């Protein structure tokens, strides 16, 4: 049950760079310019009171550091403009990023485990506009709590950066807040590094972008903004151990991400009752940075995410042992090579920015190791730092790591489904975790961390 508390918001303001910056038009990469990334995503950090910081106001500390950090990250203070061919560019106008000061009549202790995604207080802890054109590319809200702690929530425009790029900026902000004159890692734009080859060469299959229009599942008639519910499920050591016991020896050595994603994929497909011949896809968001991939320079803060996918007929996915889904998830991740990345960029550029958010595509991403839980503004590390919602669409799930009030470290998996489907999904997920391969007599409830 969500708490009821009052939040008093001050008047929104714009924070611009502390020094003059270059006014220019900057091109973005083909990965940045995907239709599916024309959205915003919020990150949130909850900080305890720190007696050593007595007399320091987190609102003022962060506001002042923000103006200094934006001298280096000045494109964030510009606005997106759209070309006649619908391609976006950044007009570096120094108009500023949105900033909001707030006070909440609640303590961290009262919030308890509800701070993990999907956070039920998002409308109080992060206000502001989510427009795309002629709107701030970032919006920050700092909310003081009655206990002396505070909440920092930031909404990023996805066209500008992915989670790791955003973390780079927030880390720079924290360093300056603690007295640094410059960020330890200077930002690199160079979006031309992720543009299509000349001529483009699509050398790989890209099922993540293919649209199947003949689905006869219940999705089209049941999904709308009014009937969707968000819930999160926790996967701790007990759940992971139980799932592994259900796998054959050849699939048992996979990663926790593979296990959880396989459970999620099969349970969702069963719950939504797709047509047996419908093509189901599992799309894994993969970081393309690193020498084995795109070899981007240190400081690059644009989007560098790849979305490899594997396909299965709904009937085969639903009726096969879980190991079948685990194998496909693992294959999806490992096909993200350098050539796959270059082929993806060429595919996006030549196919008119295709989307990946259609119903038969489950998009999964592990944000548990991104690092927002390590960002220290002087008050220490947050008790939770990461994604606020964990779900952007009904077919996406961003995993988060959370240490609950009992001290247990669990993987939090947010799910968004029509209300009438969620109960069926819960039942299928419980079955995937707790029922032995050879028997269905064992019953064990899955832990629900939060419900909305």
pLDDT at 399: 92
Beta bridge partners of 99: 13, 140
Cα dihedral 402/156/107/177 (nearest 10) = 100
Q: Is 278 a catalytic residue?
A: no
Q: In this prediction, what percent of the chain has a pLDDT beyond 70?
A: 90
Q: Are 92 and 23 in contact (CB under 8 A)?
A: yes
The residue ranking higher by pLDDT, 1 or 290, is 290
97 contact partners, CB below 8 Å, separation of at least 6: 14, 15, 66, 70, 76, 77, 136, 137, 138, 139, 140
Q: Are 391 and 416 in contact (CB under 8 A)?
A: yes
Q: CA-CA distance, 149 to 438, in Å (whole number)?
A: 50
The yes-or-no verdict on residue 370 having pLDDT over 50 is: yes
Find the catalytic residue in 30, 32, 158, 373.
158
Averaged pLDDT score across all residues of the chain: 88
User: Domain spans of the chain?
Assistant: 7-194, 207-371+389-451
The residue ranking higher by pLDDT, 394 or 24, is 24
Domain 7-194 and domain 207-371+389-451 have a common topology = yes
pLDDT at 409: 82
Task: State the DSSP code for 85.
Answer: T
Determine the 3-state secondary structure of 239 from DSSP. Answer: helix
Fold topology of 7-194: Chloramphenicol Acetyltransferase (3.30.559)
Q: Are 174 and 376 in contact (CB under 8 A)?
A: yes
Q: CA-CA distance, 398 to 270, in Å (whole number)?
A: 20
User: How many other β-carbons are positioned within 10 Å of the β-carbon of residue 204?
Assistant: 17
pLDDT at 440: 34
Is the Cα torsion angle 11, 14, 15, 18 positive or negative in sign?
negative
Query: And the tokens for 363?
Result: 């998009």
pLDDT at 212: 54
pLDDT band at 264 (very low <50, low <70, confident <90, very high): very high
Cα dihedral 261/333/269/32 (nearest 10) = 100
Q: How far is CA 348 from the centre of its chain?
A: 21
Matching CATH number, 207-371+389-451, of 3.30.559.10, 1.20.120.140, 3.20.20.140, 3.30.70.270: 3.30.559.10
Find the catalytic residue in 91, 103, 113, 376.
376
pTM: 0.89
Q: Is 376 a catalytic residue?
A: yes
């Amino acid at each position: 049950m969500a708490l009821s508390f009052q939040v008093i918001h001050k008047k929104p303001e714009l924070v611009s760079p502390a020094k003059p910056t270059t006014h220019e038009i900057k091109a973005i990469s083909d990965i940045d310019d995907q239709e599916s990334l024309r959205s915003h995503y919020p990150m949130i950090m909850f900080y305890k009171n720190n007696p050593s910081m007595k007399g320091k106001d987190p609102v003022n500390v962060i506001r002042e550091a923000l103006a200094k950090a934006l001298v280096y990250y000045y494109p964030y203070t510009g606005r997106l403009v759209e070309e006649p061919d619908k391609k976006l560019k950044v007009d570096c106008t120094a108009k500023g990023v949105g900033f909001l000061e707030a006070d909440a009549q609640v303590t961290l202790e009262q919030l308890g485990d509800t701070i993990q995604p999907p956070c039920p207080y998002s409308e109080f802890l992060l206000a502001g506009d989510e427009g795309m054109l002629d709107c701030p590319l970032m919006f920050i809200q700092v909310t003081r709590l009655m206990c002396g702690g505070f909440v920092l929530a930031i909404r990023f425009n996805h066209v500008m950066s992915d989670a790791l790029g955003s973390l780079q900026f927030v880390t720079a902000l924290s360093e300056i807040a603690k007295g640094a004159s410059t960020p330890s890692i200077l930002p690199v734009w160079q979006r031309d590094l992720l543009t299509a080859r000349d001529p483009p060469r699509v050398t790989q299959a890209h099922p993540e972008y293919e649209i199947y229009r003949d689905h006869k599942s219940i999705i089209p008639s049941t999904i709308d903004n009014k009937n969707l519910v968000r819930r999160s499920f926790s996967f701790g050591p007990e759940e992971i151990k139980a799932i592994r016991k259900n796998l054959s020896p050849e699939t048992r050595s996979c990663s926790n991400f593979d296990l959880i994603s396989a459970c999620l994929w099969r349970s969702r497909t069963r719950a939504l009752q797709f047509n047996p011949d419908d093509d189901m896809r599992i799309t894994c968001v993969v970081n393309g940075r690193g020498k084995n991939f795109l070899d981007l320079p240190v400081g690059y803060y644009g989007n560098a995410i790849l979305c490899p996918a594997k396909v299965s007929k709904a009937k085969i996915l639903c009726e096969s042992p879980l190991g079948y889904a685990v194998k496909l998830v693992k294959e999806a991740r490992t096909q993200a090579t350098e050539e796959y990345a270059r082929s993806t960029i060429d595919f996006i550029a030549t196919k008119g920015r295709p989307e990946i958010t259609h119903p038969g595509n489950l998009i999964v991403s592990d944000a548990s190791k991104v690092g927002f839980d390590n960002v220290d503004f002087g008050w220490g590390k947050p008790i939770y730092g990461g994604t606020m919602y964990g779900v952007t669409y009904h077919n996406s799930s961003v995993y988060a790591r959370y240490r609950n009030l009992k001290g247990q470290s669990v993987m939090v998996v947010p799910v968004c489904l029509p209300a009438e489907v969620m109960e069926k999904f819960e039942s299928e997920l419980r079955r995937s975790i707790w029922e032995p391969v050879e028997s269905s007599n064992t019953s064990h409830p899955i832990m629900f961390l939060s419900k909305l």
